[in-house]
C-alpha cells in the first residue's frame, strides 16, 4: 500500500485567529498534585498530528512549485500595496531580482560567499513565512526584508567602519583579562573512547579544594554530580534549566559547558569533549570555557585531532601546556559479518543505533517480538532522567532488558555496558536531506562498545572476567565496508575554534539603528561586518536566526530580553513548544504574571488523559517536557516574571513518570507493535532506495564529506556483490544488487569519458582586482564564462557588444552579472564587429584620452560560423564576407587602432592580448578573393567587381600561404571559418613582433604580450548552429543525439579554462617573446608553418590595411549619400507639411466667409 504523506506548513485556521479573540484579562487555573488536573471549564485538546520521516523529492518539487507561485502572488500584492511616493517603486526591478534570485537558491552544495549568504538568509526567511501562513506570511516577510534593506542603506552602510570596530573578533583571547592575568597550566588528555582520559581528569578534580566540570550534555553533568555526591564530595549541579545545591558548601560545580562561570576562581577545572570546539553550532561554548575559565589547573579531554589547535590556542593565551596520551583500555574492531537484517542474530548486551525516533520505537517492538526479550531505548527527545533510567535498566545484568535501541545521543551522553554496537544505517535525515554520518561520529558511537566499565560500576575488572573486546557491525551488509574503513581512518586535525558575538557587540551595533529594527537583521549585520582571527571561525547562527525570526513576529521586546531569548532552548520545528514560547514572550513584553497556570499555551490537559503507548501521546508529552524545561530556564534568568519554578519542577517530574509508563505500554501493546513494525517495513523499503542512491553518488562523485571542523574526513567504499551468497542461490541482501553494479559500471565509464573530454582545468591564480579587461563575445558561450570568472575575482569588465547599452537584454544581463559576482565594475560599449566604422568610432574614442586609459587585458572571443547547409556567403554592410570580417578583420582593425594605447601602458603593468583560435586552421587555405563573397556569387555585382579589382592587386597576393601544388578550391563554410582562424593566428604573431619592435621612451622592455588560445570543441551557440545546419530537421537530429554531444563536447565553463590559464599564468607576464599558442592549459607549437612566416604575415597585413582603407572610403561615401537623401527627404516633408498647413488655413477662412450664404443641397460633385 502506498504511504500517504502529509505536511503541516503552518497553523490551522483556528490557531491563526486565536490571538485575535483571546481576552486581554488573565485567568488562574487551579492545580493539584493528583493524577488529574482540576480546572474550571476543562477543555480537552486534540492531539496534534505532526509529520514524521523524510519527504521525498516529489514532495519537495511540489513544495517548491507552490512556494514559487505564492511568492509571485505576494510580490504583486506587495507592490500594489505600496504608496505612490514610496522610494521602493523606483528600485522595484532591483528588489524583484534580488527576491527571485534568493528564491531560486538551492541550499544543498551552495558556495559560501558573502553575496550568497545574504540571499540564503532571505530565502530562509521567505520559506519560514510561507510555512507559517502561506502567501500572507511571505508578504509579511517581504515587508521585513524591505525594511531591513532600507535600514542597511540608511544606517548600516554609512557607519560600516564603526560597526566593524565594534564587532572585532581578531583578539578573542583578550576578552578575558582576568584569565590572562594568571599563569595557567593546561593538561590536555587525548585518546580514543574508553581510554580513561576523562577518568584521570576527574580523579584530579576529586583532590581539588574548589573546581568545576564542564560537559557537553546535561546528562553527563548529572552523572558527575551524582558520582561526587555518592562519594561524599559536596557538588552542585548547574545546567541551563536546573540548579541543584548541596547542604554544605560545595567543592565541585558540575556544569554544562555553556554554564561555566568565567567570573570565579577555581583550583582545578575539567572540560570534556574538547574536539567540540570546532562544532559549527556549539563550538563557541568550548572556546569560551577554554579561554575564559579562571582555573589554575585546567584539564581538557578529547580526541587526538584536537592537539594542534589546542597548542596554537595555548601559545596565543601564554599558558603552559602538558599533553597526556592514552590508549584504549580494550581493543575495538569491526566484525567481518553483519546481521544480514535478521534481528534474531542479536546477542545480550547489543546496542543497535538508528537515527529516527520512529525507527527507534519500531525496532524496539520488532526486537521484542523476534527475541522475546525486553529492549531499552535512548534518544535525544527523552528527558535526561529517563535516559539515565533506561541506561541503568540495560546495564543491570539481573533483569530481562538485554538490548538497547538508541540514537546517536549515546555517542556523547552515556557510558554503557554494551558488548557490541550495531548500526541500523549510516544515513540519517538532516535539514538538507539525506547525509551519511561522519567518521568521527562513527568512531565516537562505535567506541561505546566494550566499555571498560559502565558509569554505575566501580572498581577494576577482575582477572577471571572474559576478555572485553568492543565489536562494531551493521544490520545490513551495505554499511559494513564503510564501518570497517572508518574505524581504521584517522580524521584530519582541527583548524579553528568557534566563536559567537558577545552581548556587548549586539548592544553597540543596535545603537546605530532605530529601536524598531528586526532582531534577525541585527544578527545578520553583526556576523557580516565582523573580522575574525585565522584561528577562529564564526559559528553558524542558524538557530539564533530562527529564534530571532520568531521574536520579530511576537510582542516587542527590548534588546536585552531578545538576547536572553536568543540563547533559550527552543526548536522552531516543534509547533507546540513555539506556541508556549510565544506565551512566555507575551509575559515578558507586557510585564505580566508568568505563573505556570496563567499561560494557557502550556498543554497541561495532556496529563488528564490516560497513559497510552501511541506515538502522538508521546509527542505531546515530549513537547510539554520541553516547554517546562524552557520555563525553568527562563525562571533562572527572569525570576521576577516566571515565579513557579517549584511547580514547574513538580509537573516536569509528572511528565517524566508518564513518559516511562507510555514506553512500557508501547512494549506491552501487541497492536501498537504490529502497527509500528508495518510502518518500519515501509520506511526501510524507502530508506534502502535512498541509501543506494546516496552511496552510489558518493562512490563516483569523488567528493569527500566534511567533518565538524570543516575538513575532509570521508572516503568512498566500492560496493561489491557477495559471491558466496550468489552461489548459494539465496537472495542478495542488497535489493537489485546485480543491476546496481552493472549500471554503476556504465556510470563510471561515462564519468571517465566526460572527464577526459572535459579537458584540462586551470590551476593558476592571479590577483585580478581592479584589472581592466576588454572582451568581445562576452555575452554568450565561452566569453560569458570568462566574464563571470574574471568579474568574480574583482576585475573591471568592458563588454564590446553589437547592442546599445540601453538594450533591455544587455541591461538585465549586466545587472545579473553584478549581483552574481558581487562586482559593480561591469560596463558595456556598443561595437558592431560587422561594421568597420563602428569599430573605428569606439577605438578612436578610447585612444583619444590623456593620460592614456588603463588597459590590462584584451580578450577577443567573438566569432561567427555559417551553418553547413548554406553555401552562399553572408555579406556585411561593408560588402565583406561576414565570417571574414567578424572573425579576423574586425580584430585586426580594433588592435591596429588600439596599438598606441597598449604601448602607452606603464612598464610595470602586465598587459595581455588573448585571441581565440580553433583547430580548423590546420586544413585551411587562404584565398583572399573569397573575403568579398566573389566565389559563391553566380553573377558579380558592379560594386563587388570594382572592389575585387581594387583590393586584388596580383594573384600571389590573393593566395597567401597556399601550396605550390594546385588543388581544388574548397568553398565550404568550414573552409572559410578555418581561413579566418589561420589568418588571425598569423596576425597575432605579427602583432606581437609589432609591439616588441617598439622602443619605449623610458627604455624599458615591452610589457604587452599576445597569446593564442584554442579552447577545443565546445558546446556553444555557434557550434550548435553549425551542427544543426540552421534547419529545424537539423535541430531535431541534434536533440535526438544530444547525449553524444553532451559527452564529447566541452561545456562553456570547461572551454574557458585555457583562456583563464592564459590570463592568469604568471610566466606569461614575463619576457618580451609573446605569441604563445595554448591548448588544454599547455603550450603547443602551431601545426602550420605560415603562422610564424614573416613574409606571409607581411602580405596579409598589407592586404588587410588596403581592404579596410577601401571599405571605409566606400562606407563614408555611402553614409554621405544616405545623409544627403535623408536631408532631402526631410526638406520635402517640411514643405509638404507647410503646404498642408496653408491649405488648412485658407479652407478655414473660406468656410467662415461663406457661412452666411444659403446652403444648397448635395455636395460639390452633385452641384457640378
**Fold (topology level) of 172-325:** Rossmann fold (3.40.50)
The CATH number of domain 8-36+573-668, selected from 1.10.3470, 1.10.260, 3.30.70, 1.20.58:
1.20.58
Q: Write the Ramachandran bin of 1075: left for phi over 0, alpha for psi from -120 to 50, otherwise beta.
A: left
H/E stretch holding 374 reads: strand 374-378
* CA–CA dist 47, 68 (Å, integer): 32
CB 252 within 8 A of CB 234: yes
* CA–CA dist 1026, 1022 (Å, integer): 6
Cell numbers that stand for 97 in this block = 531580482
Q: Write the Ramachandran bin of 11: left for phi over 0, alpha for psi from -120 to 50, otherwise beta.
A: beta
Is CATH 3.40.50.720 correct for 772-1105? yes
For 807, other C-beta atoms within 10 Å of its C-beta total 14
* CA–CA dist 497, 448 (Å, integer): 26
Q: Supply the pLDDT for residue 869.
A: 57
Cell numbers that stand for 112 in this block = 559560501
Angle between helices 559-566 and 503-510 (to 10 degrees): 140
Q: Is 976 exposed, middle or buried (CB count within 10 Å of its CB: 0-12, 13-18, 19+)?
A: buried
- DSSP 8-state code for residue 826: E
Sign of torsion over alpha carbons 122, 124, 127, 133: negative
Helices (H), 916-1056: 942-951, 955-958, 973-996, 1021-1028, 1032-1040, 1042-1048, 1052-1055
Location of each CATH 3.40.50.720 domain in the chain: 772-1105
Q: Supply the pLDDT for residue 617.
A: 82
* CA–CA dist 1126, 1058 (Å, integer): 49
CB 299 within 8 A of CB 162: no
* CA–CA dist 191, 267 (Å, integer): 24
Measured CA distances, 890 to 22, 604, 837, 885 (Å): 76, 81, 10, 6
Q: Supply the pLDDT for residue 213.
A: 94
Smallest CA-to-CA distance from 223 within 382, 392, 380 is with 392
Residue located via cell numbers 566484525: 335
Location of each CATH 3.40.50.300 domain in the chain: 172-325, 332-457+467-489
CA–CA–CA angle 861, 866, 871 (5° rounding): 155
Smallest CA-to-CA distance from 611 within 652, 648, 555, 660 is with 660
**What 3-state DSSP class applies to 333?**
strand
Across the strands, what pairs with 298? 186, 269
CA–CA–CA angle 1020, 1023, 1028 (5° rounding): 125
Q: Supply the pLDDT for residue 313.
A: 92
CA of residue 687 relative to chain centroid, distance:
25
CA of residue 406 relative to chain centroid, distance:
32
Helix, strand, coil in percent for the chain, rounding step 5: 50, 10, 35
Q: Is 904 exposed, middle or buried (CB count within 10 Å of its CB: 0-12, 13-18, 19+)?
A: middle
Smallest CA-to-CA distance from 424 within 735, 723, 51, 688 is with 688
- DSSP 8-state code for residue 936: T
Exposure string of 520-535, with b = 16+ CB inside 10 Å and e = fewer, is bbbbbbbbbbbebbeb
Compute the half-sphere exposure of residue 139: CA atoms within 13 Å on the CB side of its CA. Answer: 13
Is CATH 3.40.47.10 correct for 332-457+467-489? no
Cell numbers that stand for 1161 in this block = 443641397
* HEC letters along 535-602: CEEECCCHHHHHHHHHHHCCCCCCHHHHHHHHCCCCCCCCHHHHHHHHHHHHHHHHCCCCCHHHCCCC
Across the strands, what pairs with 405? 352, 377
What global pTM score does this model have?
Answer: 0.51
Helices (H), 669-797: 670-701, 723-727, 737-757, 781-792
Return averaged pLDDT per consecutive 10 residues of the chain, 1168 residues in all: 34 37 36 34 38 41 73 84 82 82 60 52 78 80 81 80 84 88 91 86 92 87 87 88 82 90 91 90 90 93 91 91 88 84 86 80 82 82 70 80 82 73 80 69 80 45 56 85 82 89 85 84 83 87 80 82 83 81 88 86 86 78 86 85 88 82 60 48 52 46 34 33 36 58 82 83 84 91 91 90 86 89 89 90 86 89 75 79 88 91 87 90 79 48 38 46 43 71 90 87 86 88 77 81 83 89 86 83 87 88 89 88 88 85 66 47 40
Cell numbers that stand for 204 in this block = 584530579
| Residues 6+ away with beta carbon under 8 Å from 478 | 691, 692, 695, 719, 733, 734
In angstroms and rounded to an integer, the radius of gyration of the C-alpha atoms of the chain is 39
Cell numbers that stand for 343 in this block = 534481528
- DSSP 8-state code for residue 886: I
Location of each CATH 1.20.58 domain in the chain: 8-36+573-668
Q: Supply the pLDDT for residue 592.
A: 85
* CA–CA dist 500, 62 (Å, integer): 37
* CA–CA dist 459, 253 (Å, integer): 24
* CA–CA dist 137, 90 (Å, integer): 25
- DSSP 8-state code for residue 403: E
* CA–CA dist 314, 302 (Å, integer): 15
Sign of torsion over alpha carbons 634, 637, 638, 643: positive
How many helices (H) and strands (E) the chain has is answered by 41, 28
Amino acid at each position: 500500500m502506498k504511504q500517504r504523506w502529509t505536511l503541516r506548513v503552518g497553523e490551522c485556521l483556528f490557531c491563526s485567529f486565536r490571538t485575535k479573540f483571546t481576552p486581554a484579562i488573565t485567568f488562574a487555573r487551579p492545580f493539584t498534585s493528583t493524577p488529574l488536573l482540576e480546572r474550571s471549564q476543562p477543555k480537552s485538546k486534540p492531539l496534534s498530528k505532526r509529520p514524521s520521516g523524510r519527504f521525498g523529492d516529489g514532495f519537495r518539487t511540489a513544495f517548491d512549485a507552490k512556494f514559487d507561485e505564492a511568492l509571485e502572488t505576494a510580490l504583486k500584492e506587495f507592490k500594489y500595496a505600496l504608496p505612490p511616493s514610496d522610494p521602493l517603486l523606483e528600485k522595484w526591478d532591483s528588489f524583484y531580482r534580488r527576491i527571485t534570485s534568493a528564491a531560486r537558491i538551492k541550499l544543498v552544495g551552495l558556495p559560501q560567499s558573502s553575496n550568497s549568504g545574504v540571499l540564503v538568509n532571505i530565502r530562509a526567511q521567505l520559506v519560514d513565512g510561507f510555512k507559517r501562513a502561506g502567501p500572507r506570511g511571505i508578504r509579511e516577510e517581504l515587508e521585513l526584508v524591505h525594511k531591513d534593506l532600507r535600514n542597511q542603506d540608511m544606517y548600516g552602510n554609512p557607519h560600516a567602519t564603526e560597526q566593524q570596530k565594534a564587532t572585532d573578533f581578531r583578539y578573542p583571547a583578550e576578552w578575558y583579562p582576568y584569565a590572562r592575568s594568571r599563569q595557567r597550566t593546561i593538561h590536555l588528555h587525548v585518546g580514543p573512547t574508553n581510554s580513561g582520559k576523562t577518568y584521570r581528569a576527574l580523579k584530579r578534580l576529586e583532590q581539588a579544594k574548589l573546581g568545576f566540570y564542564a560537559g557537553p550534555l546535561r546528562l553527563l553533568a548529572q552523572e558527575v554530580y551524582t558520582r561526587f555526591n555518592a562519594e561524599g564530595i559536596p557538588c552542585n549541579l548547574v545546567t541551563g534549566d536546573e540548579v541543584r545545591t548541596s547542604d554544605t558548601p560545595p567543592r565541585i560545580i558540575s556544569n554544562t559547558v555553556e554554564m561555566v562561570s568565567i567570573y570565579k576562581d577555581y583550583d582545578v577545572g575539567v572540560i570534556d569533549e574538547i574536539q567540540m570546539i570546532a562544532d559549527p553550532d556549539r563550538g563557541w561554548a568550548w572556546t569560551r570555557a577554554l579561554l575564559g575559565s579562571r582555573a589554575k589547573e585546567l584539564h581538557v579531554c578529547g580526541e587526538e585531532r584536537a592537539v594542534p589547535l589546542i597548542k596554537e590556542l595555548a601559545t596565543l593565551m601564554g599558558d603552559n601546556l602538558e599533553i597526556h596520551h592514552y590508549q584504549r583500555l580494550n581493543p575495538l574492531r569491526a566484525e567481518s559479518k553483519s546481521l544480514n537484517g535478521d534481528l534474531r542474530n542479536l546477542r545480550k548486551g547489543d546496542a543497535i543505533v538508528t537515527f529516527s525516533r520512529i525507527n527507534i520505537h519500531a525496532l524496539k517492538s520488532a526486537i521484542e517480538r523476534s527475541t522475546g526479550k525486553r529492549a531499552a531505548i535512548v534518544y535525544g527527545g527523552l528527558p535526561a532522567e529517563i535516559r539515565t533510567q533506561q541506561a541503568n535498566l540495560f546495564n543491570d545484568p539481573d533483569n530481562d532488558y538485554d538490548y538497547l535501541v538508541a540514537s546517536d545521543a549515546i555517542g556523547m551522553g552515556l557510558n554503557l555496558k554494551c558488548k557490541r554496537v550495531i548500526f541500523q544505517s549510516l544515513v540519517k535525515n538532516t535539514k538538507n536531506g539525506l547525509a551519511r554520518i561522519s567518521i568521527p561520529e562513527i568512531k565516537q558511537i562505535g567506541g561505546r562498545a566494550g566499555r571498560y566499565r559502565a558509569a554505575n560500576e566501580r572498581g577494576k575488572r577482575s582477572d577471571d572476567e572474559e576478555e572485553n573486546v568492543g565489536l562494531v557491525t551493521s544490520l545490513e551488509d551495505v554499511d559494513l565496508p564503510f564501518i570497517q574503513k572508518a574505524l581504521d581512518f584517522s580524521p584530519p586535525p582541527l583548524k579553528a575554534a568557534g566563536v559567537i558575538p558577545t552581548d556587548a557587540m549586539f548592544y553597540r551595533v543596535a545603537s546605530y539603528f532605530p529601536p524598531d529594527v528586526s532582531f534577525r537583521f541585527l544578527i545578520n549585520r553583526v556576523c557580516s561586518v565582523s573580522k575574525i582571527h585565522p584561528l577562529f571561525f564564526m559559528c553558524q547562527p542558524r538557530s539564533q536566526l530562527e529564534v530571532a525570526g520568531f521574536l520579530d513576529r511576537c510582542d516587542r521586546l527590548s534588546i536585552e530580553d531578545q538576547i536572553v531569548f536568543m540563547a533559550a532552548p527552543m526548536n522552531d520545528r516543534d509547533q507546540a513548544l513555539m506556541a508556549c514560547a510565544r506565551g512566555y514572550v507575551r509575559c515578558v513584553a507586557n510585564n505580566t504574571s508568568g505563573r505556570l497556570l496563567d499561560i494557557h499555551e502550556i498543554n497541561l490537559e495532556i496529563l488528564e488523559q490516560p497513559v497510552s503507548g501511541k506515538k502522538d501521546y508521546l509527542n505531546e508529552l515530549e513537547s510539554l517536557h520541553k516547554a517546562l524545561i524552557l520555563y525553568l530556564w527562563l525562571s533562572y534568568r527572569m525570576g521576577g516574571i516566571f515565579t513557579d519554578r517549584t511547580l514547574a519542577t513538580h509537573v516536569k517530574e509528572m511528565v517524566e513518570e508518564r513518559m516511562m509508563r507510555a514506553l512500557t505500554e508501547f512494549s506491552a501493546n501487541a497492536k501498537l507493535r504490529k502497527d509500528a513494525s508495518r510502518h518500519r517495513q515501509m520506511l526501510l523499503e524507502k530508506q534502502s532506495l535512498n541509501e543506494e542512491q546516496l552511496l552510489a553518488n558518493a562512490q563516483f562523485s569523488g567528493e569527500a564529506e566534511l567533518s565538524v571542523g570543516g575538513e575532509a574526513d570521508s572516503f568512498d567504499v566500492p560496493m561489491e556483490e557477495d559471491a558466496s551468497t550468489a552461489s548459494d542461490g539465496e537472495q542478495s541482501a542488497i535489493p537489485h544488487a546485480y543491476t546496481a553494479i552493472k549500471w554503476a559500471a556504465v556510470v563510471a565509464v561515462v564519468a571517465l569519458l566526460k572527464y577526459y573530454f572535459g579537458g584540462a582545468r586551470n590551476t593558476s591564480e592571479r590577483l585580478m582586482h581592479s584589472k581592466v579587461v576588454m572582451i568581445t563575445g562576452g555575452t554568450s558561450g565561452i566569453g560569458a564564462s570568462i566574464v563571470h570568472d574574471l568579474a568574480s575575482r574583482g576585475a573591471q569588465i568592458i563588454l564590446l557588444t553589437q547592442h546599445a547599452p540601453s538594450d533591455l537584454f544587455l541591461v538585465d544581463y549586466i545587472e545579473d552579472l553584478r549581483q552574481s559576482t558581487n562586482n559593480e565594475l561591469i560596463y558595456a560599449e556598443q561595437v558592431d564587429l560587422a561594421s568597420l566604422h563602428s569599430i573605428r568610432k569606439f577605438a578612436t574614442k578610447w585612444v583619444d584620452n590623456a593620460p592614456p586609459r588603463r588597459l590590462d587585458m584584451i580578450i577577443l572571443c567573438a566569432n561567427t560560423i555559417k551553418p553547413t547547409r548554406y553555401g552562399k556567403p553572408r555579406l556585411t554592410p561593408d560588402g565583406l564576407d561576414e565570417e571574414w570580417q567578424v572573425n579576423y578583420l574586425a580584430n585586426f582593425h580594433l588592435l591596429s587602432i588600439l596599438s598606441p594605447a597598449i604601448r602607452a601602458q606603464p612598464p610595470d603593468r602586465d598587459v595581455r592580448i588573448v585571441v581565440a583560435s580553433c583547430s580548423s586552421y590546420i586544413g585551411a587555405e587562404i584565398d583572399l578573393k573569397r573575403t568579398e563573397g566573389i566565389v559563391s556569387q553566380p553573377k558579380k555585382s558592379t560594386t563587388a567587381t570594382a572592389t575585387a579589382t581594387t583590393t586584388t592587386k596580383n594573384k600571389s597576393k590573393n593566395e597567401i600561404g597556399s601550396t605550390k601544388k594546385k588543388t581544388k578550391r574548397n568553398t565550404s563554410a568550414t573552409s572559410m571559418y578555418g581561413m579566418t582562424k589561420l589568418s588571425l593566428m598569423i596576425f597575432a604573431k605579427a602583432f606581437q613582433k609589432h609591439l616588441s619592435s617598439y622602443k619605449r621612451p623610458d627604455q624599458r622592455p615591452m610589457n604587452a604580450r599576445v597569446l593564442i588560445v584554442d579552447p577545443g570543441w565546445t558546446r556553444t551557440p555557434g557550434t550548435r548552429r553549425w551542427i544543426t545546419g540552421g534547419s529545424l530537421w537539423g535541430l531535431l537530429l541534434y536533440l535526438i543525439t544530444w547525449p553524444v554531444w553532451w559527452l564529447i563536447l566541452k561545456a562553456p565553463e570547461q572551454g574557458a579554462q585555457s583562456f583563464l590559464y592564459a590570463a592568469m599564468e604568471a610566466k606569461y607576464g614575463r619576457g618580451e617573446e609573446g605569441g604563445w599558442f595554448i591548448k588544454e592549459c599547455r603550450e603547443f607549437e602551431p601545426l602550420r608553418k605560415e603562422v610564424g612566416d614573416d613574409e606571409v604575415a607581411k602580405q596579409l597585413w598589407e592586404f588587410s590595411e588596403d581592404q579596410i582603407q577601401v571599405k571605409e572610403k566606400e562606407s563614408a561615401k555611402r553614409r554621405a549619400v544616405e545623409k544627403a537623401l535623408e536631408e532631402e527627404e526631410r526638406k520635402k516633408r517640411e514643405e509638404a507639411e507647410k503646404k498642408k498647413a496653408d491649405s488648412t488655413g485658407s479652407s478655414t477662412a473660406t468656410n467662415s466667409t461663406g457661412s452666411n450664404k444659403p446652403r444648397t443641397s448635395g455636395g460639390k460633385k452633385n452641384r457640378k
